[in-house]
Amino acid sequence: MKRAKWDAKFKACRERDIDFSTVSGLPVRPLYTPADIAGFEHDRDLGYPGEFPYVRGVQTSMYRGRLWTMRQFSGFGTAGDTNRRYKYLLKHGQTGLSVAFDFPTLYGRDSDDPFARGEVGKCGVAIDSLQDMETLFSSIPLDKISTSMTINPPAAMLLAMYIAVGEKQKLPAHILTGTIQNDMLKEYQAQKTWIYPPEPSLKIIADILEYCAERVPRWNTISISGYHIREAGSTAVQELAFTLKNGFTYVERGISAGLPVDKFAPRLSFFFNAHLDFFEEIAKYRAARRIWAHTMRDKYGAQDPRSYLMRFHTQTAGCTLTAQQPENNIVRTAYQALSAVLGGTQSLHTNSMDESYALPTEKAVKIALRTQQLLAYETGVPNTIDPMAGSYYVEALTNELEREAYKYFEKIDKMGGVIPAIEKGYFQKEISRSAYSYQVALERQRKHHVGVNIFTEDEKPAIETLKIPPAVEKVQIAKLRRLRRERNNQRVKEKLRLLRKAAKDGENLMPRILDCVRAYATLGEMCSTLKEEYGVYREPIIF
Amino acid sequence: MERKIRVLVGKPGLDGHDRGAKVVAAALRDAGMEVIYTGLHQTCESIVDAAIQEDVQVVGLSILSGAHMTILPRILKLLKTRKAGDMIVIGGGIIPADDAKKLEKMGVRRLFGPGTPTVEIVDWIRANAGKVGKSGKVGKSGKVPRHQTVKKKKATAVARWRKKK
Amino acid sequence: MDGIEHRLRGLLRGEKRMIAQIISAVENDCAQGLLQNIFPYTGRAYHVGITGPPGAGKSTLVNAVAKQFLQQGKKIGIIAVDPSSPFSGGALLGDRVRMTDLAAHRDVFIRSMASRGSLGGLARTTKDAALVLDAAGMDYVLIETIGVGQVELDIAGVCDTTVVVLVPESGDSIQAMKAGLLEIADILVVNKSDRDGSERLVMELKFAMEMREREPDWEYPILMTTATEEKGIGQLVIALQAHIDHLSMTGKLEEQRKAKLLHHVHELVEQKIRSHLEENVMHEHDLRTLVDRIYRRRLDPYRVAERIARKIVKGSR
């Protein structure tokens, strides 16, 4: 049968009354054929696993060699509470740690800061000083695990604390492995956790790149994150384009700080969202690898393949979890996890079913972890490398996402780059528009969310949730005050003075921060010191 | 002219997740309301200051950080001490059911959980915000507000016009 | 409780909730009686308008200026106008965000107003809202226009001093001249002056202002500021104070204010006539049927207008 004939027959059929587009709004045709990927050449466009342009994956053997790292993001209450949860997860087969900090920590404020009221230990673990960090990793040998820390404005301080914990465990910094998120650009664009204005923030990031290249060479210095851009409501294309553009901006900063690109680029990694639209997500990961490889090699002159192969972590989309019929979240998350694995992720976090209510209970976390283990050990999915390659639809979608991303790059360049675009509120506007139009599509029944606007039920689900006792705040504050009484305050003051001076003189801050940390200066003290020098950021308000 | 509904949409505390707040703000605007958006990281005090100066009927607060049991009661208390206890306080975000019950008892009029259609929020505000409103009384001393006369006349004019037809 | 008395007393005491509620009443057109009572207490505040294209940093500038006035122990009222959606009539008012340092201050009152269909950069009731703040004891009332790039010249008819804010990028200077913005400026500010092109813009403005008809004894200042860092704000405050001195010394303040009052009275009369027409003479509906006949050339607009005007004078049908 010829195509034209099929088209005619198809036209005569009735289609369901929904929008046939991806969740991001890209139109989807009823059928994809070789015509949709005309000119496609496997070796050139995809390459072999572990080979340029890495569309089929960044390692030669991919999951045949080693499964992805199962890394559940976790943290709550005091350092002691979280330490117990970590030991539980490691016992159940988790292979890496991922620290969730509470809001005051994320903003570089101490637990007794007026702004911290009601927030201590709520959304993550409260860390005020090295003392808390010692508790957090108590009897967890840092040479046996890798640790990811979701921390941005105070990333340098938390990394310094981790290094200092290593010192106490008699481990040199150069064997430590892990990641700090340290991606400030997406904070201004989407996640909105900031302290200083963009310029000093990027300066600190460049300091970290430089320091780690010498002293902590196995540390992933920036986890360039699309996850939060997506959670804030962007489309898949925007997530892809903004994240990569941010990545290139860091690369440019590193280069202009005088670092050779191959010296720091191998330690850059990425972090993406796994959202609802199965194929679109797979195409997104594949397009991301191709763009990064080409641009890093051809535009920024990287020669070490590790500089242009893109490694990334994935988390299933928190914003897609429903409070309604929460058990459905287990299934939803499983599909999302499958897309991440088919997209070739290096590590994965699966959300727990109860997370639209509170931080997850132990049981819910275990099911989430088991979801990954099922995928790894039962489904056979990891048996062959990149099984989606050659699918007309997936390849066409990969090409389309790539094309659209380049259009965004051009627009951003025209605005003078990422920072001027942030100051104009460009990203914020793009993201909130996408978020609103998705909401409108849901309310008009053009898109569906099970349990929310279709197959809804009236009864309120009875679900057990994790409670953070209010005493946590009191306990944490008491501990902090005791520390301030008992430490050598003269020494703290002196180290903070030197930090301020280094900031003023434009020196690399890392050694000074490490000195402060070792003297048990608190996170809030260090950040306030830098605030005095750098000022604070004000957001432009854009709808 | 009828009285416009004015709503404050606020993000108290440290959490930076403003997607929901912005979507709701845009939806309220599209429903014809005037929305004052406070921006992120506001203290309870500054939110209450804004609510009073902007004379909103409704104070809508989005909290996803788990600090709702600290923040919401504090806002209620501040409003009361500033003689603005009549303002309607509503909330949205991740708020477990038993906390929600306690908050509603304290005076939070309504909590909208994740997945609430914006239409539901719009309808609720329309149904509840129009009723009270001290400032509506301001001009009524002696003189009938103009809009009431207009309405009446409009009705008779229409009737006349119909008769003619 | 006697509405007006009680409210007036609250207002004069500067009670914020009362000020806010009265402004709402003004916005909703149900405060005429109250305004009559308020008016005798106004005329003390000095009204400053801040206008300019979108993205010029008007709110940030207002914030910085207000801070300096506060340090001098002054009381500040701020009105920030944002556009209403022409489709829904709703509005998103976000200017406050740039003024968070101020909002909690005892001596500051900030109000966001939606334009509610008005096109000149202000809401129709902004002038009255400013009077309310005046009566509440503010020393300065700062009014920020919409700033969406349309022609926003209403501000000059409301304020004693008009500050026009421009920024180096996007060829604002040329647009501004077209839009007549320079014609209403008493003080010009090039904000974000740390950016490229600010020197050139200042030069262009100097040239343009030389073309403008001179006001005796007033040299139009062209100032450079970086409002986000509060740079150049001191000079702006000095220029504002110099302009007040200039206005009062030359007698222009009284002259200007009288002209504005005359205009205000005219406006009110027009409004009165319009509503009188609506309510007592001829309703919009009836007028439409007349237009129908005008359209078919059975009547002509001149004679119809003449007849309606005569009816208005007589007072009723």
A202 touches chain B (CB under 8 A): no
Dist CA A329 CA A318 (whole Å): 10
CA-based nearest distance C200→chain A, Å: 20
Closest by Cα among A210, A231, A214, A132 to A173? A214
Residue B151 pLDDT greater than 60, yes or no: no
Read off the tokens for A501. 């001076």
**Which residues lie below 8 Å from residue A433, measured CB to CB, with a gap of 6+?**
none
CATH superfamily, region A59-443:
Methylmalonyl-CoA mutase (3.20.20.240)
Mutate which of B134, B141, B153, B160 to disrupt the C interface (most C C-beta within 10 Å)? B141
Domains and CATH numbers, chain B: 6-161 (3.40.50.280)
Dist CA A354 CA A465 (whole Å): 7
The number of residues in chain A equals: 543
- Which residues in A47-67 are b (16+ Cβ under 10 Å) and which e? bebbbbbbbbbbbeebbeeeb
Q: Which parts of chain A have pLDDT scores under 50?
A: none
CB B145 within 8 A of CB B139: yes
CB contact under 8 A, B19 and A432: yes
pLDDT in tens, A114-152: 989 999 999 899 999 999 999 999 999 999 999 999 999
What is the SS3 assignment for A92?
coil
CB B33 within 8 A of CB B8: no
B162 touches chain C (CB under 8 A): no
CA-based nearest distance C1→chain A, Å: 41
Residue B113 C-beta-side C-alpha neighbours within 13 Å: 19
Secondary structure, 3-state, A208-260 = HHHHHHHHCCCEECEEEECHHHHHCCCCHHHHHHHHHHHHHHHHHHHHHCCCC
Chains in touch with A (3+ beta-carbon pairs under 8 Å) read: B, C
Dist CA A262 CA C280 (whole Å): 83
Q: What is the pLDDT of residue B135?
A: 41
**Which residues lie below 8 Å from residue C205, measured CB to CB, with a gap of 6+?**
C166, C173, C182, C188, C190, C222
Which amino acid would we find at residue A238? Q
B130 touches chain C (CB under 8 A): no
Residue B158 pLDDT greater than 70, yes or no: no
**C-alpha angle with apex A178: A137 to A295, nearest 5 degrees?**
165
- B60: which strand partners? B9, B90
Long-range contacts formed by A474-477: CB under 8 A, 24+ apart: A475/A78, A476/A78, A476/A111, A476/A120, A476/A121, A476/A126, A476/A128, A477/A111, A477/A112, A477/A120
> What one-character-per-residue DSSP string does A127-141 give?
--SHHHHHHHTTT--
A232 touches chain B (CB under 8 A): yes
Per-residue pLDDT, averaged over B138-150, amounts to: 36
Q: Which parts of chain C have pLDDT scores under 50?
A: 1, 316-317
CA-based nearest distance B154→chain A, Å: 35
| DSSP H or E segment with residue A429 | helix A426-443
**Which residues lie below 8 Å from residue C106, measured CB to CB, with a gap of 6+?**
none
Chains in touch with B (3+ beta-carbon pairs under 8 Å) read: A, C
pTM, to two decimals: 0.88
Closest by Cα among A534, A533, A509 to A198? A534
Residue B95's CB is within 10 A of a number of other CB atoms, namely 25
Strand order in the sheet with A347-349: A69-70, A347-349, A312-316, A268-274, A222-225
Which amino acid would we find at residue A291? I
Closest residue in B to C77 (Cα) is B53
CB A320 within 8 A of CB A449: yes
CB B153 within 8 A of CB C279: yes
pLDDT in tens, B45-93: 999 999 999 999 999 999 988 889 999 999 999 999 999 999 999 999 9
What are φ and ψ of residue B36, in 5° steps? Answer: -100, 115
pLDDT in tens, A504-524: 999 999 999 999 999 999 999
**Which residues lie below 8 Å from residue B158, measured CB to CB, with a gap of 6+?**
C285
Q: Show me where the domains of chain A are located.
A: 59-443
pLDDT in tens, A333-354: 999 999 999 999 999 999 999 9
pLDDT in tens, A10-47: 999 999 988 899 998 899 999 999 999 999 999 999 99
CA C226 to chain centre: 24
Residue B134 pLDDT greater than 50, yes or no: no
- A220: which strand partners? A179
Dist CA A88 CA A409 (whole Å): 44
Between the CA of residue B16 and those of A75, A78, A170, A188, what are the distances in Å?
18, 22, 38, 10
What is the SS3 assignment for A262?
helix
What is the SS3 assignment for B98?
helix
Chain A contact set for C103 (CB, 8 A): none
Chain B contact set for A101 (CB, 8 A): none
Query: pLDDT category, B131, cuts 50, 70, 90?
Result: low
Q: What is the ipTM of this complex?
A: 0.88
Q: Tokens 């229409």 belong to which residue?
A: B158
Strand order in the sheet with A97-99: A73-74, A97-99, A147-149, A178-180, A219-220
| DSSP H or E segment with residue A316 | strand A312-316
Q: Tokens 């974000």 belong to which residue?
A: C192
CB C289 within 8 A of CB B161: yes
